[in-house]
Amino acid sequence: MTVRIREADYVTADGTTYPVRADLVRGHLMVIASGGTMDLEPSFGDTPDPADPAYSIVQYDPEPQDLATNVGKVRQRLKDLVDEGDNNRIVGVDGHTIWSDGTTVETTPAYALGDTLFYDTSNSNGAGRWIIGINGNQECTNPTVILFHELAHSFRNHGLGTVADEEREAIEDENWLREALGLVPRDPERRDGGAGCPDDGCCIVATVACGSPYAPSVNRLRRLRDDVLRRSPLGARFFDELFREYYAFSVEIARILVRDAQARAQVEQWLVRPLVGILEVMQGYRLAPDDVKGLGGNLLALLRESPAATPDQAHAACRLLEALAAGATTDEVAHDNEATRRIRTLLASWLPRSPQVDWGILGPLRIHGAASARFADSTDAEAAGRWLAARIDAWLRSLPLRALGELSPELIDEFAASLFAEEEARRALSRAWRERHAHREKSFTPCESGRLP
């Protein structure tokens, strides 16, 4: 087994230390191992390398593949790499890496050094990358596709062709995965590319639960991320921190989900859809904070479309979130099975150490659960809007800023301006953030602050 993932930070010959993202490498390999379908075979996984603790060894032994399909070709290529005699060491680096020739990840997304393949897991620090499609247009790519392209080089490169020939062959292989993902194939005759096409992957748990990295709910999450968080330097910094925390445990959750259809359906129904829905309602508030009745109408419409839940079930969901955030696995849950119990155990272990995830994902879910318990049968849009506006304001004020390093008033003002279209709302949020940053931060628990009937 000769595909290895670098687990320890990488130290260069001159002593420079670069952090690695083994969690993201696993996520990208998971997509490749599924052929882009997220229908993952149980044989995929990795174990520590007994000969070198800095690496783990990838295992992958799928059933015979249909090589007439792109999915089968992608899966078979990974199996061939795992089975071949040569080493393939994968090092996933972040966006601050500088290659030995002085170039950065914005200009060169991957770099080979002997049997070691380095590639940028950050997608050009969130800016994304483009290539030229067979339609002649600039088309988005992503780190998973870049990794597969470089693995194709490793598999095919025997030093028998020109650089142009080798690149053409790697692009032909890359297109198997692009087509399996529903992306426009790349022009094999064009090597153009650059930063500035932020249509990269988003939320591996949502991707697995919904069955595709381009499922409607995943695309909606991606739009919310880019339209809200990445519109200012501080917002982008916050997203990067949330992303780092989230991927520390989400790949393992995704591994559980791909093997359990019941757990996937539960996550899609009770986590992904409510999260996307409440975030979109909250986005409407940031665009028109004075339209309380419109905000309430959007909330009531969301609750009508949400999975059926009694007030008691919604209240129980809120209590479950609070328990997991505090590190408790809680008692048995209705319709529970072994997969969901394992997921709860993982969440209880990681969430207390993940303030950005708690705020960015659990916070909106708590608001949705509290709203479901309070307004499930309501038609009073104005009352619902006033209640939700107060909860959103409290949630925004509770943003965990301390993990983001030194913050100037200008950075805070710019982030607040990126969230609200209305000037007074911007000033109020910026003022609240500055005051909170200057004092001890308090957690946000709408299940307690918004007393439920």
Which pLDDT tens digit goes with each residue over 209-256?
777 666 777 777 777 777 777 778 888 888 888 888 888 888 888 888
DSSP bridge pairs for 197: 128
Type of residue at 311: P
Identify the helix (H) or strand (E) that includes residue 317: helix 311-325
Mean pLDDT within 93-111: 88
∠ CA(332), CA(365), CA(323), 5° rounding? 40
**Which pLDDT band holds residue 452 (cuts at 50, 70, 90)?**
very low
pLDDT higher than threshold 70 for residue 450: no
- Are the C-beta atoms of residues 224 and 280 closer than 8 Å to each other? yes
With a CB cutoff of 8 Å and minimum separation 6, the contacts of 64 are none
CA-CA distance, 346 to 42, in Å (whole number)? Answer: 20
- Are the C-beta atoms of residues 128 and 199 closer than 8 Å to each other? yes
CA-CA distance, 217 to 278, in Å (whole number)? Answer: 12
The beta strand positions in 143-295, using DSSP E, are: 193-195
∠ CA(30), CA(353), CA(244), 5° rounding? 40
pLDDT at residue 61, rounded to an integer: 92
Q: Please report, for residues 31, 45, 148, the alpha-carbon distance to residue 258 in angstroms, rounded to integers and kept in the order given.
A: 11, 12, 21
Which pLDDT tens digit goes with each residue over 33-77?
988 877 777 788 899 999 999 999 999 999 999 999 999 999 999
pLDDT at residue 181, rounded to an integer: 87
Q: Please tell me which residue, 20 or 12, carries the higher pLDDT value.
A: 20
Q: Please tell me which residue, 18 or 419, carries the higher pLDDT value.
A: 18
pLDDT over 90 percentage in the chain:
32
Identify the helix (H) or strand (E) that includes residue 6: strand 3-6
- Mean pLDDT across the chain, nearest whole number? 84
With a CB cutoff of 8 Å and minimum separation 6, the contacts of 156 are 166, 169, 170, 173
pLDDT at residue 219, rounded to an integer: 74
pLDDT higher than threshold 50 for residue 435: yes
Residue 349 DSSP one-character state: H
Q: Within 13 Å, how many C-alpha atoms sit on residue 33's CB side?
A: 24
Closest CA to 344 of 370, 319, 367: 319
Q: Please report, for residues 138, 140, 358, the alpha-carbon distance to residue 182 in angstroms, rounded to integers and kept in the order given.
A: 15, 12, 32
Largest separation between any pair of C-alpha atoms in the chain: 73
pLDDT at residue 377, rounded to an integer: 84
pLDDT higher than threshold 90 for residue 6: yes
pLDDT at residue 451, rounded to an integer: 33
Mean pLDDT within 326-335: 68
- Are the C-beta atoms of residues 370 and 299 closer than 8 Å to each other? no
pLDDT at residue 201, rounded to an integer: 57
Q: Please tell me which residue, 222 or 178, carries the higher pLDDT value.
A: 178
Mean pLDDT within 343-364: 89
Rounded (10°) CA dihedral 82, 87, 91, 92: -20
Mean pLDDT within 189-194: 89
pLDDT at residue 391, rounded to an integer: 92
- Are the C-beta atoms of residues 425 and 289 closer than 8 Å to each other? yes
pLDDT at residue 449, rounded to an integer: 42
Closest CA to 154 of 86, 67, 91, 93: 86
Mean pLDDT within 111-115: 87
DSSP assignments along 244-260, one per residue: HHHHHHHHHHHHHHTT-
pLDDT at residue 57, rounded to an integer: 95
Structure tokens at 329: 């696995």
Residue 60 DSSP one-character state: -
With a CB cutoff of 8 Å and minimum separation 6, the contacts of 366 are 318, 321, 322, 444, 445, 446, 447
∠ CA(82), CA(118), CA(404), 5° rounding? 120
pLDDT higher than threshold 70 for residue 30: yes
Distance of CA 397 to the CA centre of its chain: 24
CA-CA distance, 31 to 177, in Å (whole number)? Answer: 9
Rounded (10°) CA dihedral 242, 245, 249, 253: 0
Q: Please tell me which residue, 420 or 120, carries the higher pLDDT value.
A: 120
Closest CA to 128 of 144, 116, 115, 150: 144
pLDDT over 70 percentage in the chain:
91
Please count the other Cβ atoms lying within 10 Å of the Cβ belonging to residue 66.
11
Q: Say which range, 20-34, 50-64, 405-419, 431-445, has the weakest mean pLDDT.
A: 431-445
Phi, psi of 3 (to 5 degrees): -105, 120
Rounded (10°) CA dihedral 98, 103, 109, 113: -70
Structure tokens at 27: 């996520």
- Are the C-beta atoms of residues 107 and 196 closer than 8 Å to each other? no
The length of the chain, given as a count of residues: 453
The beta strand positions in 74-205, using DSSP E, are: 88-93, 110-113, 116-120, 129-132, 138-141, 193-195
**28-32, 155-159, 439-443: range with highest mean pLDDT:** 28-32
Q: Please tell me which residue, 157 or 277, carries the higher pLDDT value.
A: 277
Identify the helix (H) or strand (E) that includes residue 10: strand 10-11
Three-state secondary structure call for residue 118? strand
End-to-end C-alpha distance for the chain, whole angstroms: 58
**Which pLDDT band holds residue 331 (cuts at 50, 70, 90)?**
low
